[in-house]
Chain A
Amino acid sequence: MNKTKYKTALLDCWPMMKELRRDHFKHTWKAGEKGDLVVMGIFEWFLALCAGFGDYANPSYGPYYTGILRDKEKALTCFNTAESKGFKRDICASMRCHLGQLYMGLTEKSPKGDTVKPDFILQPAACYAMSKTGQIVSEELGIPYLNLEFPTKDSGNTRAYLTTEMQEAIEWMEKKTDRKFNDELFINAVQNEWECMVLWARICEMTKTIPSPLDYRQMWSLRIPNITSRHKRETVTLYRILFDEVKERVAKGISATPYETARLFHQFLPPFYALNIFKEPWKYGASFIGGDGAFTSMGAWMIHEDGTWEAAKMPHERGVNISTREAALEALADLYLGYLPASRCTLTVNQKEAAKMIHDWHVDGVVLMIDRGCKTLSAGQEEQIVELKDAGIPTMVYEGSHADFRDYNEIATLNRLDFFLESLGLKELDEFKEGQQ
């Protein structure tokens, strides 16, 4: 067991990340004043596409999603509302939260009571639930809806299809908004999107270091601007600063947590409303230092034949010049079909690549959440568990839901995690027993 006590330090760019997050959420209600578009749908992919119309707001999952999940009473009302409309509890919890907001009349209502009419729904079909929710929201609110296919395999044919679809989506948006698409803005946004995703993967790569310069709780928050706003210049700036800061921490041996008695991975989505699960190992001196939920939520990765994960190279580093709309569309298709592992998780990520990643990050144990609601990211979960066990990697599996607190037993899960950590030979550290955390 590694009992070294490491230096720790706060992240300087943390306030910047929080500011960007706040700006994103406030933008929905200010977009009207600024003349910006409001794009609905779970718009987390191909963000640059809408940037050709300038800045735009994007209240993914509904404008009150995060706040509702944090408040059990509100969450219960929201889920009950969706379920009372006939949407069964097995359906993705995030989508039920989105639908709950819709039927509660919150989707278009600002906190001050103003009505904000979204311009359209652009839904990349990353999963069936998202596409269907987009269709329902469109029907209820009378908003134009486009389901942008997100192919589940990478081939010349699917790339051509995706590129054509995106071109058609641009024409569709021009028609629906009566605005002209600006290629220069789009090209810049594509470059930003690429750079954020590459930087994020490079930052994740640095957590291989012992001690890890970041822990998973930090990463879970730090990834948010990368999900919501990576097409923007200020987000690139954040990740450039973060990259430099993390690099410096590695050089100086600065750790995210004082101890690393065990390095843990959390695979698949965690319970968003109970992220204290990431802090539970601290009392044993152990730390979550990574996991596919954060690594693949908008990290651009190359996965080699032997399963090794490596941050992708930027297009210009590979001699690819993005100077026209066509080139930018191809670059976007390349990014999402070639370098985003989560988009092709069904056949690949959850198996040997996961075991290899866990090996290369020097992980002592893996904690995995089974979420019956998320059909996409839970694809191949059991196969991965078998793969890890067969590779001799200690694993702990718990059931939960990423968004519905009713499907997560916190006390039982944290107890199980304690037992798991003890099974790794860890003991509660005296300084934590004395309440010094």
Chain B
Amino acid sequence: MNISRPKIFRPFREIVTDRHEYAKKWKAKTGGKVIGYFCTYVPEEIICAANILPVRIIGNNEPQTITDRLCSRNKWCPFSRNCLAEGLLGNYDYLDGVVLGASCFHTQEVFAAWVKHIPLSFWHYLFIPGSLQSTSADTCLVGEFEEFKSSLETWTGASITTEALDRAIETYNKNRQLMKALYELRKYEPPMLAGSEAMQTVLASQLMDKSEHNNILKEVLAQLSDGKNNVEPAIRLMVLGSENNDIDLLRAIESWGANIVIDDHCVGSRYFWGEITPHEDRLRAIAKRYIERPPCPTKDFPLRRRLPHILGLIKEFKVQTAVIILQKFCEPHQYDLPAIESGLQELHIPSVVIEIDAPISMAQIRTRVESLIDMLRVDTY
């Protein structure tokens, strides 16, 4: 199995594994509130500036039945079903509130179900325009962020100061710089870290205090820069597609003879790519970053920005092949599929599409991904 040096990434692995414990401890230690958020278009900076811990709500990728009464298995994507299950099971009982950055309808449904079935003292629905390229989108987004800031202030009884926003922006920008530096190490041949380790790092950053993540990440980068590299050379592979937080799946793909060197999904580069450029109007500065970040398919109108970004990553990270991972029933990503496959073909990048459910069918996936990798090995060696 291709992993760099397990000890280096252990802190992130532990936080991902015991994510609920981490949040509970943080709460006990700081006495602060914790907000769960759906979708990475939620401006965490504003939550952080209110001294609240933002925690991304994710499912556990395991089969469950608790949601069967409320959401059909034949319609909802497994990720959204499992996010709801986690709430109904009480695994997020430490949350004080939830916030949605409106994207796909399944996420909106999960949010609505959370609001209805899980008692919390705060919830907020952020409308995020799909046409983020439109000239008036930034004003709308700033307006949404102002409403969100104001509702947080009312809820907490404390105002969010400009200084606090500046500190949060700085912390988040630092995190994005560090994450980008970590991803730079994936450009090496062989890469300095495994894809599963990269995902662990991103996922941990969505679950923990960003300053603490920054501190650990600095140490990780320092340790990785000692010139040693335990990763074996292998086919350079990109994963892209729907939300995917299944680290075991990535580990398995790498064990079949590939190094995952880059990704485009929301537990990967799409989450942290692009920094906030300072501006007198802090909320406008934050909005600009969310407008310009690599888009989710639900925000990619009228021109396609996502496809050129993916093709750019392929060149930059010297990708040889791609695995497109779709959550079952994920319509936004299903819609992007023909254009992406066609773009990959133009670059002569062979790819395979795998659809995941909970539980995933690892044997089927293995057959397909291994065939893809074997085919490339024959061509390469």
Give the interface of A toward B (CB within 8 A). Answer: 85-88, 90-92, 125, 127-129, 131-132, 135-136, 138, 145-149, 151-153, 155-158, 160-161, 164-165, 168, 346-347, 351, 370, 372, 375-376, 378-383, 386, 399
Contacts and interface: CB of A to CB of B under 8 A. Distances in A.
B105 to A, nearest CB: 4
Given A136-B339, A157-B140, A372-B329, 5 more contacts: A87-B334, A87-B335, A155-B147, A160-B143, A383-B70
Given A87-B335, A128-B130, A346-B105, A161 B72 contact: no
Given A128-B298, A132-B297, A157 B130 contact: no
A160 B301 CA distance: 20
Given A135-B304, A158-B127, A346-B112, A128 B332 contact: yes
B139 A161 contact: yes
Given A155-B147, A158-B140, A386 B70 contact: yes
Q: Which 6 interchain pairs have the tightest Cβ spacing?
A: A86-B338, A157-B143, A161-B140, A147-B301, A375-B105, A372-B75
A135 B301 contact: yes
B35 to A, nearest CB: 19
Contact of A131 (B112, B116, B130, B136): B130
A380 B335 contact: no
A385 B263 CA distance: 39
B75 A378 contact: yes
Contact of A347 (B112, B297, B301): B112
Contact of B125 (A87, A146, A347, A380): A347
A381 B69 contact: no
Interface in B133-149: 134-137, 139-140, 143-144, 146-147
B109 A88 contact: no
Interface string B85-115: 0000000000000000010111011001101
A161 B136 contact: yes
Interface in B191-230: none
B131 interface: yes
A85 B102 contact: no
Given A168-B135, A383-B113, A90 B331 contact: yes
Contacts of A370: 72, 74-75
B302 interface: yes
Interface residues of B, number: 47
A43 B259 CA distance: 46
A375 B112 contact: no
B301 A153 contact: no
B134 A149 contact: yes
A138 B331 contact: no
B43 interface: no
Contacts of B112: 346-347, 379-380, 383
Nearest to A378: B75
Nearest to A387: B116
B337 interface: yes
Contacts of A146: 302
B18 to A, nearest CB: 32
A153 B115 CA distance: 15
B241 interface: no
Given A375-B106, A379-B105, A149 B331 contact: no
A204 to B, nearest CB: 25
Contact of B335 (A129, A155, A158, A381): A129
B69 A382 contact: yes
Nearest to B125: A153
A385 to B, nearest CB: 9
Contacts of A135: 301-302, 304
Contacts of B140: 149, 157-158, 160-161
Interface in B337-368: 337-339, 341
A154 to B, nearest CB: 10
B189 to A, nearest CB: 32
A372 B144 CA distance: 31
Contact of B127 (A132, A147, A152): A152
B131 to A, nearest CB: 5
A151 B127 contact: yes
Nearest to A350: B112
Q: Which of A135, A165, A376, A382 has the most CB of B within 10 A?
A: A382
Nearest to B330: A90
B129 A161 contact: yes
B71 interface: yes
Contacts of A88: 334, 337
Contact of B131 (A92, A147, A381): A147
Contact of A164 (B70, B139, B147): B139
Nearest to B338: A86
A90 B139 contact: no
A386 B104 CA distance: 23
Contacts of B297: 128, 132
Nearest to B145: A157
A382 B70 contact: yes
23 contacts: A87-B334, A88-B334, A125-B301, A128-B105, A128-B335, A131-B301, A132-B336, A135-B302, A135-B304, A146-B302, A147-B130, A147-B301, A149-B131, A151-B129, A161-B129, A161-B136, A165-B134, A351-B116, A372-B72, A372-B74, A378-B75, A379-B108, A399-B74
Contacts of A136: 335, 339
Contacts of A147: 130-131, 134, 301-302
Nearest to B332: A128
A387 B347 CA distance: 51
Interface string B306-339: 0000000000000000000000110110111111
Given A135-B302, A145-B302, A347-B125, A129 B331 contact: yes
A168 B134 contact: yes
Interface string B277-311: 00000000000000000000110011010000000
Q: Which of A90, A136, A165, A386 has the most CB of B within 10 A?
A: A90
Contacts of B137: 149
A136 B304 CA distance: 10
Contacts of B69: 382, 386
Interface string B36-71: 000000000000000000000000000000000111
A208 B102 CA distance: 36
Interface in B253-271: none
Nearest to A146: B302
B350 to A, nearest CB: 15
Nearest to A150: B130
Nearest to B142: A157
A351 B108 CA distance: 15
Contact of A382 (B72, B102, B135): B72
